[in-house]
Structures are given as structure tokens and as C-alpha cells.
Structure 1
Amino acid sequence: MKSEEIKENAFFKKLNDFSELVMFKHSVFSLPFIFIAMLVASYLESGSGWFGWKLLFLGTLAAVSARNFAMGVNRYLDRDIDVLNPRTKNRPSVDGRVSTTQMVGFIFANALFFIVVAYFVNDLAFRLSVPILAVLGAYTLFKRFSALAHLILGISLGLAPIAGVVAVSGEITLWSVYLAIGVMFWVAGFDLLYSLQDMEFDKANNLHSIPSKFGAQNTMYIARVFHLMTVVFWFWFVSSAGLGVWAQTAVVFAAVMLGYEHYLVKKDFTKIDKAFFTVNGYLGFVFLLFIILEVM
């Protein structure tokens, strides 16, 4: 019995290590927007926002496995960088809690799982599955030679609403493109603010980021421009989809939350974590709530 308990404890410890490896709690940034796209697509097609239990299940599995793949690739390729950074040197990929062999297995398992799930969604989802994985894996490589890496990260999460509309409608609509571009600028904007923490480290290690290249004040200005574009594209999404007052309220709420995020960071750089996790986490879920009210 004692041996079984030790094995069980070891299993849950390893599970926790992998959860920390991919920072599973950060799924709050992409999950709401895949479901927003699915709700709106179903609503516009059938008059009902409910797209069925099957797509809810498959959509969740696809989103989680895609994100696990992307984070696994990031952690695997960034080992040489993370070990030098005081902020990241205790990650499971660096301190040995998750071995390189385990990471490679994790990456390939999630890639295969994502492709299989896409196969069961529809033909277009299956054909797009490998290109989507290629984009998701590109972020880590980009930051080694281009400051545009922030936008690549934004594109990676912006694929979530595209995947959502493909799952329900089997096509990519104009309104979903507006929603996706808004997500791209949203993610790129808050990634700029988050990257302020590593500005000096990036300079010292020849890593390409907007903060290391343009400085803190210019970075904050660029982030504000990105988030202004976020609001513009999300209003175009609402207009293009023909949605009403609840969806419009969602965009207004997002604008207020983004303004508060910039207020926090401008006032005190030590509030970056609060701005990054709390504000952006609430933004996605409240946006989803308003869309649910809209399609009801």
C-alpha cells in the first residue's frame, strides 16, 4: 500500500511539473476566443449559439493540445536562454524536473493528438492542422532574430477564433478574421508589456525584442497602439457579424480593461504580473460571457 502511495504521489508530482512547464493556467487567454467564434458561427448559421456537445469536447481538446505543443516547443528550444535568466531558471525544463526526452515525447504526443482531433472535427480542420502547428512552433525561433516575435505570438493565439469558426462552419469568415486580428494585437500588446521584465536580459544576451530594441517608453507606446487596434478590429468583428448591444458592450468592456492594464504598468512596473494575468484573464472570460448573452 505504501509503495502504491509513493507511485501515486510521484505521478501527481510529474503531472504538476508538466502543468508548470506549459503554464496551463495561461489557457485562459486562448480558450474564451475559440468558444466566442464557435458561438457566433453557430448563432449566425442556425439562430442558436449552441454548437453541440461533440464540438465543445473536440474544441476543448484541440485548444489544449495545440497550446501544450506550442509551450512544449518553446520550453524545449529555450533551455539555453532560460537557464541564464533569474526569472526563468527554476522552470521544470531547466532544473531537471522534466527531462529533454520527456519534453520531446510531450511535444510529439500533443502534435499527434491535435491532428487526430482535427480529423474528427471536419476536413478543413484536418488540412489546416499541420500548418497551424508550424505557426505555433515558430514563435521561439523568431525571437532569436526578429523583434516581430511578439506579433508571431499574437498570430498563434489569433488562430484560436479561426479554428473555432472552421470547426462549426467548415470555412473562414470575414468576421472571424477581424476577431482573430484583434486577438493578435491584444496578445502582442500585453506580451510587449510582459517583456519589459526581460528588457536588460534580452539586451545582454542578444535576443530580439521590442523593449530591448526601442526601450521601455517606446514599448509602452507601441503596446497602446496595438491595443487601440485590438478595439478597432473587435468593433469591426461585431459589425461584420451583425451582432447587437451585448457584443458591443463586450468590446467597450475590453477597451476599459486594456486602459486599466496600461494604467497599472505605467504607474508601477512591479504590477506587470497583475496586468498580465489578472486583467487579461478576466477580459477574455467576460468577453465570452457577453457573447453568450448576445446569442441567447
Structure 2
Amino acid sequence: VDRDIDKDNPRTKNRPSVDGRISVKGMVIFSVSNALLFVVVSYFINPLAFKLSLPFLIILGGYSYFKRFSSLAHFIVGLALGLAPIAGSVAVLGDIPLWNVFLALGVMLWVAGFDLLYSLQDMEFDKERGLFSIPSKLGEKWCLNLSRLSHFVALMCWLCFVRCYHGGLFAYLGLGVSALILLYEQILVARDYKNIPKAFFVSNGYLGVVFFIFIVLDVGFKHA
């Protein structure tokens, strides 16, 4: 979807989807076949999974268009990834309990908060192309503050998630470690935007795994 934009962006012009290593035809075949497989598999999981499969696909496939007309694109990509815990709950439980909603909201805001930081790299390019990223429309200060607010609210959502499922010591420890990771990430980026890739690969990229491990330990010890 973004090939025409990415080919003019110095940061993204060497991506395989842009420089010809992957053909447009190949991408279309891969995307359509996986979308069809997604719907078919959802049908065999349970009725709710099948009903939600098309709306989920629309969000997953459509968020790339949002930056062409809305600054909410950062939160749409967050929503797309926040659907993952919802989908897991629907597949396993056939339901969406309240604790799962809080978990998903936390994921959405965690991802949106980092996407806001990540978009600082393309601020000048987005201004030139008239794209609706928050840095290009509202400036760096707004972007940084919105990212911090998103991460704070994400942590509050995860706190509600832990309390809803009556989490124990390991769950709260995991929440504390996650808060430290997000704080470290924000400090790294505030010091120098050149640290944005490091903030992702060193901290943000590990947060989900770390929180998951603590939750598994918590649930395991509760049922031991």
C-alpha cells in the first residue's frame, strides 16, 4: 500500500517491497491468500471468531491508508496490534472478558506510544508529502508528550488487567519491569532521536515477551 511513499523516503527506499526484490503481484497473492485462509480458519474455530474475522481484516489491511487523511494513524496501528489479545481470547474462550479488554487497550496504547516516537524519524518527509503524522502536523513536543501519555495510560490499563484477573506478585513485578522499560525508552529517545532504533530493539521489542513471562509465572504459581 505504501510503496509509492516508501520509495521516496530515504529511510524506507531499500525495503524489499519497494526496491523490487518482492514483486507487487507476489505481495498481492500472498496477502489475498492469507486473508482467505484467515477467514476459513476462523470459521472452524467458533462462530464469534468467524463473525469478527472480516472486521479484523479491514482494520489490519486498512490502517496504512489512515496517514493519508488522519493523524490518528498511530492509534490505528496500535489498534491493529491490540486486536491480537482479543483474537486469542475469542479463539480460546469464545468470549471477550473484561480483563482481556484492558489487556488489549494497553497493547494498543503501548504500540501507539512507540509509533509516535518512531514517526519522529520521518517528520520532515511527512511534511513535504503532506502526510498526517502527529509530528508533521503538531510538532515534536506534542508528539513526545502524547507518546508519554499513551504509555502511562497503557500501564494503567495493564494494572486494571492484572486486578481484573486477580493477579499476584509476579504479575505486579512484570508490570513494574514493563514500566521501567517504557521509562528507559522515553529517556533514550528524548536524549537523541538517533536512539529510536535502539529504543525499539533494546527495550520496546522485549517488553511484550518480558510481561508475558511474568504473567505465565504468576498464573503457573497460582495454580500450582
Bin the TM-score by the shorter chain.
over 0.9
User: Counterparts of 2:201 and 2:123 in 1: how far apart (Å)?
Assistant: 19
Alpha-carbon distance, 1:216 to partner = 1.3
The whole-number CA distance in structure 2 between the counterparts of 1:278 and 1:127 is: 38
Which of residues 258, 262, 284 in structure 1 aligns to 2:208? 284
Structure with larger RCO (C-alpha < 8 A, sep 6+): 1
Distance 2:200 2:71 in 1: 20
Q: Compute the displacement of 1:295 (Å).
A: 1.2
* Residue of structure 2 equivalent to 1:39: none
**Which runs of structure 2 are paired with 1:261-272 in the superposition (5 Å)?**
261-272=185-196
Q: Residue 152 of structure 1: SS of its match in structure 2?
A: helix
Paired residues in the alignment total 220
Q: Which amino acid aligns with 1:203?
A: K
Q: Does 1:96 align with 2:17?
A: no
Cα distance between partner residues in 2 of 1:282 and 1:187: 13
Alignment partners' CA distance in 2, 1:120 and 1:272: 41
Structure 1: which amino acid aligns with 2:96? Answer: I
> How many angstroms does 1:121 deviate by?
2.1
Paired residue for 2:11? 87
Please state how far the C-alpha of 1:278 moved relative to its aligned partner. Answer: 2.3
TM-score, normalised to structure 2, is 0.96
**Which residue is equivalent to 2:58?**
134
**Which range is displaced more, 121-130 or 187-196?**
121-130
Q: How does 1:21-60 map to 2 (within 5 A)?
A: none
Q: Does 1:183 align with 2:126?
A: no
Residue-by-residue CA offset, 1:63-106 (whole Å, 9 max, x unaligned): xxxxxxxxxxxxxx111101110111111121111111111101
Name the amino acid aligned to 1:113.
L
Which among 64, 67, 74 is matched to residue 150 of structure 1? 74
2:13 and 2:183 mapped to 1: Cα distance? 32
| TM-score normalised over the length of structure 1 | 0.73
- Provide structure 1 residue ranges, at least 5 long, that are not aligned to the other structure: 1-76
State the partner residue of 2:138.
214
1:243: Cα distance to partner?
A: 1.3
Task: List 4+ stretches of structure 1 deviating above 6 A.
Answer: none
Partner of 1:235: 159
Structure 2 gaps of 5+ residues are: none
Shift of 1:116: 2.2
